[in-house]
Structure 1
Amino acid sequence: MASVRQFQVTFDCAEPERVARFWCELLGYVLPPPPEGFATWEAFGNAQPPERQGAAFACTDPTGVGPRLYFQRVPEGKVVKNRLHLDVRVGTGLVGEERLAALEAECARLVPLGAARVRLLLADGENESCLVMQDVEGNEFCLD
């Protein structure tokens, strides 16, 4: 039997720090401490060659349970729907109107942070309701 492996989720984006900070707010993640020898991430960034400044950022689960999220700058923009997305579990165990209220409340919290509501998928007898959204650079995720 194969052993369970740790993994990180990597986002290609235009503005790594902006996208990382959004996901920190969404998930309750935190920024890791800056590399040894630097008091802040800004100081670390300023020490990099110009082409590397702002090229990457990361955030971590403060409990150590969830995967590290890594954000890397890429030259091309997003042009099609993601083939992979994260389901953010805000309605676990809830059904019907109670679930919809939890999804809508989280959506209302995220829109002022730069998220965009895409569409509500209502329960269909097989799946419970979920809310499709986009982060600050258009990456899809679901409030589930």
Structure 2
Amino acid sequence: MAEPVRGIPEGHPCRFRGRFVLTSQQSDPQAEKQNFSGMFHIVSNLDYLLDVPREHSLPVQVAYHNQQSQAFLQGAFVDGYGLLLVDYDSEGKPYLTLAADVLRPQPGDPSTREYVDSSSGMANPTAVFNGTITGIPFD
């Protein structure tokens, strides 16, 4: 089995807060039960410490109970909060699943240029978890 990276044990959850972009859409984008794919875009100036490429994208599978009938359209920017489950495949690459408590899609039509131009941009996500972090060699 692959060794977990950056001190997050395999199969352990952490709390997540951040922004991602939807890469899929259900046939009914306002359905109560939402399951779709997303992508975290990560920009790191600590790539030499964390072994994360300077610009990197991580796929995530998202599950959400859409009580307010919000529309989740492919290409939309979404601010999300919830429980992030980290697993690793046979090559040691992380596989992320987000059980979302709150999702807030940026309003508008993601297929238009105006949508992208008016976006507040992608920011690095914030992950909060308990435990000892290992493998970050600070002096």
Query: If you compute each CA radius of gyration, which structure gives the higher value, 1 or 2?
Result: 1
The structure that is helix-richer by fraction is: 1
TM-score normalized with structure 2 length = 0.25
TM-score normalized with structure 1 length = 0.24
